[in-house]
Amino acid sequence: MTAPDLIARDVAAVKTELLDRLSDMLEPLLRDARYGTLSAREAELQTWTLIVSLGAAVLTSVWSCMCRCATEKAIADWGWSMDQVRLRTDADYLGKINTTFGRLRFPWFAFRDPAGRTRAPARELFPNHPKIRSSELLVEWECALAADHPFRKAADALLFFSHGAADVEDTTIQRHAIQVGSALPVHWLYRTPEDIRELLRDHATCDRQTGKPIIYASTDAHALKRFIDETWDPKWRMTNGIRLWCIDRDTGKTLHIGGEYTWGDCNEVARRFVRLRTSGHLPLEGDYGEGVVAQIALLTDGLDWIADHVLPLFPSAVLSLDPYHVIEQVTDTAARLYPNAKNKAKSLIQRGRKAIGMRDRRGRTKLRKGPNRLLQKNRRFPSDGSGQQLLDVLLPIDEELVQHEQEAIDSADLDAIVAVRKKRKRLDNLIGYVRRNLHRLDYGALRKRGFQIGSGAMESLHRTASQVRLKRAGCHWTAEAAQAIMDLRLLTLSGRWDEYWNQPVLPHLSEIKNAA
């Protein structure tokens, strides 16, 4: 159907035209099926060709009807009649938009008013046109694929699964994904405070001491390769992540509540936490309203900037320093204390693990094949473990090193003195690290209360929300592009993808970007 054919047609006429087209397309397909000249695969492929072609015709008709309705309404609102205006149906006044059914052409039903001015009120139905010459559904498909695949592969996948209809350049997909991702308001990356309240009340594990549902928060950084200072020399640059989650009391699964990434420094991360506190996603005292008061738990590593900028924002939070980061410090110290005595180093590491209540890695039961297959042992964490117990392991070693230092001084062995002092300095750094974070190392008490003590959920967010997409071989990013892709992935993880795209009116992308 051409644009003039659609003008002045009523719904019944358009419907008749579409039914006639369907009949014409079905006839050869059914005839070939009747005479057995089709294989099952050919039949399915031809059916898809029919559906795509018919879908394009239906969508063209529907959009044309919508445009005509918008034009008629505008003419009536301005107090004119159809006889007083002249419709413009030339090529300059046809909409040309890429869709999931291919590139469609339909009339805007533009008109010249009595004053001689040309108007096209139907353009308001497509607020992102001509800035984005794809339909909203096609843009959604582009963004969904771009968030999971390199742009070129996303273009190939879109072409393949639309059976050749949606032929979009990879540069177009890249541009649209970055535009949409950059325009996403950050609150879409988190569940709403109302959803969080319901999740905490009905599903989250609770503090056995107070009965409050537990909401966990963490922050951590990881490196991505991005262009620095507008040069084409990519360098590793740290991006800081934030995550909120809780644990399902029935299944033990991690329930993602929301998260985000920023290229900003520690001060910017602190501002993001302040915003979460103000917006009600992570209220100061955990009060989500309607009687739901949660216990906030901050699980992080031992970096000083976190202790200085983030932890003071939530004075009533339960604090835990990820035990694996503590053991990393112990392992590094053990290697330096006993460079030529691996057994002593292993012994120190094992005693350190036991002191903070971590499971011993030795003695695991392996799975065997056959009828006598042994099951994995249900190994439980020790019921105790604390920073003070770790200090009880480290301080005697420090006293021993002091004695060795004095012996080296007495014998005037300069090399031995230097070596011992280097070891003491490394051990003193570890002891100072433990003492500074002593209030965050009461692991036994936290386990008894039902808390997680590790920040593994934050580490796993790096993989799912960022690295699995942005750390592919040869990937180098601008800050804007990387941020946009991470935000699209986080929108999916928050469970609000459909909610965002199914808004009655998808916000105008340029307006969102300008208002941000």
pLDDT at 327 over 90: yes
pLDDT at 511 over 70: no
Highest-confidence segment of 84-93, 130-139, 196-205: 196-205
Could you tell me which of 163, 159, 166 has the C-alpha nearest to residue 137?
A: 166
pLDDT at 13 over 70: yes
Give me the residue spans of the domains in the chain: 3-126, 130-183+478-516, 188-320+455-473, 325-359+385-448
pLDDT, residue 358, reads 85
Identify the three-state secondary structure at position 47.
Answer: helix
Could you tell me which of 440, 439, 466, 437 has the C-alpha nearest to residue 454?
A: 440
Region 282-289: what's the mean pLDDT? 95
Residue 258 phi, psi dihedral angles, 5° rounding: 165, 165
- pLDDT band of residue 104 (cuts 50, 70, 90) is very high
pLDDT at 404 over 60: yes
Question: In this structure, what token pair is assigned to residue 125?
Answer: 């139905």
511 vs 306, higher pLDDT: 306
How far apart are alpha carbons 476 and 264 in whole angstroms?
A: 19
pLDDT, tens digit, 9 for 90 and up, residues 108-154: 999 999 999 999 999 999 988 888 889 999 999 999 999 999 999 99
Cβ neighbours of residue 119 closer than 8 Å, sequence gap 6 or more: 74, 110, 111, 112, 113
Residue 295 parent element (H or E): strand 295-300
CB 124 within 8 A of CB 109: no
pLDDT, residue 506, reads 72
Rounded to the nearest 10°, the torsion over CA 381, 382, 386, 391 is: -110
- pLDDT band of residue 260 (cuts 50, 70, 90) is very high
Task: Name the E strands within 67-130.
Answer: 86-88, 94-99, 102-107, 110-112, 118-119
Distances (CA, A) of 366 to 199, 359, 362, 380: 38, 16, 11, 17
CB 215 within 8 A of CB 296: yes
Amino acid letter for position 515:
A
Region 355-365: what's the mean pLDDT? 69
How far apart are alpha carbons 66 and 64 in whole angstroms?
A: 5
Region 341-360: what's the mean pLDDT? 90
DSSP state of 311: G
How far apart are alpha carbons 99 and 168 in whole angstroms?
A: 10
pLDDT at 5 over 80: no
- The angle formed by the CA atoms of residues 29, 33 and 35, to the nearest 5 degrees, is 120
Q: What is the pTM of this model?
A: 0.87
How far apart are alpha carbons 172 and 145 in whole angstroms?
A: 12
Rounded to the nearest 10°, the torsion over CA 420, 426, 427, 431 is: 150
pLDDT, tens digit, 9 for 90 and up, residues 373-389: 444 444 444 557 899 99
- pLDDT band of residue 7 (cuts 50, 70, 90) is very low
Q: Return the minimum-mean-pLDDT range out of 8-12, 230-234, 394-398.
A: 8-12
Count other Cβ atoms within 10 Å, centred on residue 10. 8
Which residues lie across from 338 on neighbouring strands? none
Region 452-467: what's the mean pLDDT? 94
Distances (CA, A) of 364 to 98, 157, 162, 343, 355: 58, 44, 50, 20, 20
pLDDT at 12 over 50: yes
pLDDT, tens digit, 9 for 90 and up, residues 226-240: 887 767 788 889 999
Strands 254-262 and 295-300: unpaired
Tokens 């541009």 sit at which residue? 175
